[in-house]
Amino acid sequence: MAHVLYEIHGSHPCVAVERALQLKRQPYKLRELPPAFHVPLQWLRFRRLTVPVLVLGSGETLIGSTTILHRLDELVPEPSLLPADPAARARVEEAERWGDEVLQPAVRRMIWLGIKRNPHALKGYAKGSKLPVPGPLQTPTARLVCRLAGWRNRADAATLQADSAAIPGWLDHVDELIAEGVVGGPQPNAADLQIGSSLRLLGTFADVWPQLSARPAWQLARRAFPSYPGEGEIPPGTYPIATPAPALAAAAAA
């Protein structure tokens, strides 16, 4: 029987789980939920507030991207998401944890503030969604969803400043992990999926693009996720990020 993935369209941890299902050639169905309103729905159904949740064909319920990726890897060992060697596995798990606990929530805070400032952008992120919002309702819906999601994620001007300033450090960290061979191999591992999905979402912010596009980190993200909804949707000037002129020129030439 097919697994069922409860998700929000374009949500980075949900995209990571869906990619793992595809890599492992697992049959699955999507149950797409409306962003922000999914919180009470998930509570009613699973007594949890977040997506992704995967209900396996066997009936087992898995909550959270890391839990899901690990359990899938146990059940369907090939292609493997975690190395067999214990030391190598510990390094991948450490990178995965950083992706889940540091990068993922920070990019989430940034995206909701980005859409709040550019409500029309929600349309681009919703491309491919099975829950279309009628045209006249799109902007008010985006405003309401951003207000709820921003509040839930404690996203405000102070987090925006701190998250924007942290980006070069995050990218250096990922590039180091790639140089050390922890992530970025030919076959995506669990940390590639966890980190790559967040980088893919980060790459939809025009302000970040100049510093991201030339990085090995971006190659990792593109390899793990060849496409991602919302590309180029959050326009320049949204985030407090000063773009150095040479980076702008390089990005324009790319």
Contacting ligand GSH within 26-45 (CB under 6 A): 39
Query: Does 13 participate in binding ligand GSH (rule CB under 6 A)?
Result: yes
Query: Does 131 participate in binding ligand GSH (rule CB under 6 A)?
Result: no
Q: How far is the CB of 50 from ligand GSH (least distance, A)?
A: 3
Q: How many residues bind ligand GSH (CB under 6 A)?
A: 14
Q: Which is nearer to ligand GSH, 203 or 210 (CB)?
A: 203
* Binds ligand GSH (CB under 6 A): choice among 15, 20, 24, 50: 50
Q: How many CB atoms lie within 10 A of CB 123?
A: 17
Query: Does 230 participate in binding ligand GSH (rule CB under 6 A)?
Result: no
Are residues 170 and 147 in contact, defined by beta-carbon separation less than 8 angstroms? Answer: no
Cα→Cα distances 175→38, 168, 215, Å = 34, 10, 7
Stretch that binds ligand GSH, among 50-58, 89-97, 205-213, 242-250 (CB under 6 A): 50-58
Query: Does 189 participate in binding ligand GSH (rule CB under 6 A)?
Result: no
* Binds ligand GSH (CB under 6 A): choice among 34, 37, 64, 250: 64
Question: The tokens 């909701």 sit on which residue?
Answer: 112
Query: Does 164 participate in binding ligand GSH (rule CB under 6 A)?
Result: no
* Binds ligand GSH (CB under 6 A): choice among 51, 82, 220, 221: 51
Q: Which is nearer to ligand GSH, 20 or 211 (CB)?
A: 20
Q: Which residues bind ligand GSH (CB under 6 A)?
A: 8, 11, 13, 39, 49-52, 64-65, 100, 104, 108, 152
